Structure 1
């Protein structure tokens, strides 16, 4: 950068918010959460506190208590990966546990507590890998298992801030804003699942009618 030039703040529209591995084709939940997260991240911040910067992104607001100053491409990729993870079966189980904790009286920290329990390392479970290591691992960290499936082969290189970002995202999910976003995602998932079921039923009925001709 030349003399006299200053670094401009990042505009939220420049940040890609792409997950590290991306939603899988045909997995409605993963695709909905990924799409809804991008939609949220590209929306405007409605208001700013006195001490907040002029160029404030949605992710900055969510991570306002985290121990770093800027919203980086890495932070965006981690957050988008987390959002996509919510749509898989394992992520749904964490959400279900979080909702149970909410009903038990742990209102704001319900999802964070559920995540802390789920993310523990247990050497007899999932080959000793933690949940965060699964969904933040790039594709080249996976390989074929002896049963023919796909499994994580090595731990991704994660730093303290990566873990902190995930913790703040789970905490935010227990807030009013996070809960509203989650509810909207779940409604869209139900809508798409119902549409997929109707489409499959129509196709099956069409096959039966063809056979009866």
Structure 2
């Protein structure tokens, strides 16, 4: 077995920040991604080959963070917007392929809007090493230090994941995840599993 193969087997497909317990989609997508990677460790290299960079632990964590993020409301909104772009009339141009449309949707999604979410980009929210906001005496402010580790290689890695998110495997994964997320959300919202509060 070659060194590259051994390195791939040693990667931990864990996000920069763990999925939130109250957002079941984050954990479900992460688990499906980990199972997908475990089935064939060479898949990560295939997804990221266009970056021209080596595939290491940082890249594995960025990819896992992308997958976890796709399970939150923002990730779901991006996916919906990208899928909606597929319904637009297709022309014979590379930019109108499924991959091209997902990448166009990502460019819009990742734009910095000063009046939305404190002006942080989606990739910054996705890859922040800590909570992007800190509380002050009067309100919340953006903690820009939370994004100090984000690199241009991270941007390339996420772009590769966006392209992969348009492919058949990812589409099938979303169809698997959808009923799982709906069931877990329903379970969380149900009173059946809440501890009974003690009587006064």
Question: What TM-score, normalized by structure 2, do the two folds share?
Answer: 0.81
| CA distance, structure 1, for counterparts of residue 128 and residue 193 of structure 2 | 38
| CA distance, structure 2, for counterparts of residue 81 and residue 113 of structure 1 | 20
The residue that corresponds to 1:134 in the other structure is 125
Of 54, 57, 61, the residue aligned with 2:42 is: 57
Cα distance change on mapping 1:134 and 1:76 into 2, 3 Å: same
Greater share of residues in helix: 2
Question: What TM-score, normalized by structure 1, do the two folds share?
Answer: 0.76
Deviation at 1:21, TM superposition (A): 0.8
The residue that corresponds to 1:193 in the other structure is 185
| CA distance, structure 2, for counterparts of residue 62 and residue 117 of structure 1 | 22
Find the residue that maps to 1:103 and give its secondary structure: coil
1:79-98 alignment, distance < 5 Å = 79-98=63-82
- The Cα offsets for residues 98-149 of structure 1, whole Å up to 9 and x where unpaired, read as 1111122443333222111010112232222211111111116542255666
| Runs of 5+ consecutive residues of structure 1 not aligned to the other structure | 1-6, 45-55, 208-213
2:156 is aligned with 1:161: no
1:137-148 alignment, distance < 5 Å = 137-139=128-130, 142-145=133-136
The residue that corresponds to 2:163 in the other structure is 171
| CA distance, structure 1, for counterparts of residue 179 and residue 112 of structure 2 | 32
Deviation at 1:79, TM superposition (A): 0.4
Q: Which of the two has higher C-alpha Rg?
A: 1
Q: What RMSD, in angstroms, separates the aligned Cα atoms of the two structures?
A: 2.6
2:18 is aligned with 1:22: yes
2:9 is aligned with 1:8: no
